[in-house]
Amino acid sequence: MSSTKTKLPHRALSRQKIQEEQQDKMLFAFIMFFMFNLIASIGIAIMSRGESVTASIFGISNGKEHFMHMFDNIREYNQAKIYSYASKIYPPLATVFYRLYGLLLNNELVYADESGRYLMQKDQRAMMIYIFFASVVIILLTRLFERQIKHIKSRTVVKLITFSIVVSFPILHCICTGNIAILALLFSLCFIIYRKSENAKLRELSYLSLAVAVGLQIYPIVFILLLISEDRAKFKFSRTIIYCIVILLVPFLLFVLFENPNNVGIAIKNSLIAFLNLFKVGSKGLNFDSISITNIVYMPIVRRLINQKMFMASVALFSSEFLAIVLFFLSKSHWRKVFLLTYLFINIPGISNQSILSFILPVFVLFACDVKNREKSDWIFFILFATILSPIPVWWYFYADKLTVWANHNGFPFEASINKVCGSLLFQLMFILVVIVEIVAIVYRCKKAAQNTYYEISYINDIDNMQNEVTV
């Protein structure tokens, strides 16, 4: 078999070069924008003596909530019989994690009431274990992201992009609030990267990783749909489902059977009710922490135009979810498929928050590496990604008092963080753009298919005519 390289035709070469140049410009612009925002944020943090940072992440009036998501969950998940009486979803592997964490702490901290909520912030072991946990997760995330973007030629660009990803606003939000979503992100990323690996062991590990991510937060289960378009899809799909069921059910049943064996049915019922409640549209008004499409109906201009807000929010939610799942099956672009799956769970009102927006990072990395399909219109996506991920300086912090009065006068809370204010709008805008791009791509594919069919039919007709002429 000949091993000579086939040269690409000149047109293809120049197109490839143009795409690579576009790619380099986009990455450069992203890095510049990100670094500018980061430095400006640090500058404003110095000017405001750090208050702009705490206001940005925790809100203006919630000063001392650092790492409390983790510590509150340790107290909550260590209560006895949580599956029997609670009406909230407690992912089983998360329960294992928090209980193991609780085993390493004093009982007075773990079983403290509301008044003792902040004791863990001063506790040596609680803080040391959290630092250890955060360090390990960040190291592994960095390794995985680097592995994913190693196709980029410049090592400096790879390092800067990895740095930007790890210091992005969603990741910082996860670390600062102590949200375990970052651990689910890590395992989901393992699955997204290694599910197509040539190494059989790595592929198996990737399916297990997805199962672990599902055990920690349930919603990463949507990524299993990525296996549908692969070779031996049934086999891979069924194996992954089995892993997910084992990792979900075994700890769940162990907890329920050991703590309250008579209430297995009630525990299952409560969990299902809690799952359905996640899709319930709230009536509490605007919540800048949420990224869901339901939040938009409560935004200042929109809410004046809509009377039945809850109904419209529900309609928007279910139609966007339906559209996302349909387009996922029709899409041919890898990064858009992953985005649509990510959209499916980030859009759910009961789950949606700034920490979960960290799941946009694998999408960004896939998009950044998709050089072959680079178009000029991708600049819009790059701008959106850059704005969502960069820690935008809170320049309006110095006018917080006046803005709070104005916001309260107009019936919504003042939010210091520009990332949070813009987050849901930009994320939904990205979804709309992806929908438009996909519809255009589908129309174009249909047209091309129709043309090919026309040419085939006309070609067959021509041959028939020629044959007939010959016969005659």
Partner 1 sequence: MKKQDFLAIPKNALKNETNAAKLTFLIVFGLCFVLTIIMAMITNGVTFSVKFFGTGRFSDTFMDFMNSIRDSSQVNMYRTRWTIYPPLAALFFRFIGGMMSQNSVHISFSGRKELLIDPIAMLIFMLFAILCVYLIFKMLDYRMQSEKKCLLAKLCAFCLAFSYPVVYCLERGNITIFCVITAMFFVFFRNSNNKFIRELALIALAISAGLKFYPAIFGLILLAEKKFFAAFRCIIYGLICFFGPIIIINAMDTAILSSPSSNNEYFENNATSISYMVSRLIKNLINTVKNKAAISNYSYVSIQQIFMLAPIKKLLQGYDIPKICSLAIIISEVIAGVGFFITKEEWKRVFLLIYIILNIPIASSVYALSFIIIPFAIYLYEKRSFKSADWFSLLLMSILTSFIPIFTTLDPKSIQLLPEVFGNTIDICPQKLIAAIVFQTLFFTVMISSISSLTEKIIEIRKQRKQRREV
Nearer to partner 1, 166 or 422 (CB): 166
63 part of the interface to partner 1, by CB under 8 A? yes
Q: Which stretch binds partner 1 (CB under 8 A): 83-91, 129-137, 329-337, 432-440?
A: 129-137
45 part of the interface to partner 1, by CB under 8 A? yes
67 part of the interface to partner 1, by CB under 8 A? yes
CB of 198 to partner 1, least distance (A): 8
Choose which of 13, 18, 39, 139 interacts with partner 1 (CB under 8 A).
139
Choose which of 8, 80, 103, 380 interacts with partner 1 (CB under 8 A).
103
Nearer to partner 1, 45 or 212 (CB): 45
Nearer to partner 1, 382 or 397 (CB): 397
Choose which of 31, 40, 138, 369 interacts with partner 1 (CB under 8 A).
138
CB of 42 to partner 1, least distance (A): 8
Choose which of 51, 76, 259, 289 interacts with partner 1 (CB under 8 A).
51
131 part of the interface to partner 1, by CB under 8 A? yes
CB of 208 to partner 1, least distance (A): 13
Nearer to partner 1, 200 or 305 (CB): 200
Choose which of 127, 253, 369, 371 interacts with partner 1 (CB under 8 A).
127
Nearer to partner 1, 8 or 104 (CB): 104
With tokens 């790595």, the residue in question is 202
398 part of the interface to partner 1, by CB under 8 A? no
Q: Which stretch binds partner 1 (CB under 8 A): 41-49, 338-346, 416-424, 425-433?
A: 41-49
Residue pair 81/250 in contact (Cβ under 8 Å)? The answer is no
112 part of the interface to partner 1, by CB under 8 A? no
Choose which of 17, 25, 125, 269 interacts with partner 1 (CB under 8 A).
125
- 74 contacts: CB under 8 Å, gap ≥ 6: 98, 101, 102, 105, 110, 120, 126
Pick from 233, 210, 208: nearest CA to 220: 210
Binding string to partner 1 for residues 195 to 234, with x set by CB under 8 A, is what? ---xx-xx--------------------------------
Residue type, 166: V
Residue pair 355/290 in contact (Cβ under 8 Å)? The answer is no
449 part of the interface to partner 1, by CB under 8 A? no
Q: Is the dihedral of CA 261, 263, 268, 270 positive or negative?
A: negative
104 part of the interface to partner 1, by CB under 8 A? yes
Residue pair 191/216 in contact (Cβ under 8 Å)? The answer is no
80 part of the interface to partner 1, by CB under 8 A? no
CB of 245 to partner 1, least distance (A): 25
Nearer to partner 1, 180 or 293 (CB): 180
Q: Is the dihedral of CA 87, 92, 94, 98 positive or negative?
A: positive
154 part of the interface to partner 1, by CB under 8 A? no
Residue pair 388/423 in contact (Cβ under 8 Å)? The answer is yes
Choose which of 50, 261, 285, 300 interacts with partner 1 (CB under 8 A).
50
Pick from 198, 214, 189, 216: nearest CA to 364: 189
- 5 contacts: CB under 8 Å, gap ≥ 6: none
128 part of the interface to partner 1, by CB under 8 A? yes
CB of 129 to partner 1, least distance (A): 8
- Show the CA angle centred on residue 271, arms to residues 265 and 274, nearest 5°: 140
How far from 284 is each of 153, 178, 334, CA to CA, in Å? Answer: 49, 25, 37
100 part of the interface to partner 1, by CB under 8 A? yes
Binding region for partner 1 (CB under 8 A): 42, 45-46, 49-51, 53-54, 58, 63-67, 100, 103-107, 118, 121-125, 127-128, 130-132, 134-136, 138-139, 142, 175-176, 198-199, 201-202
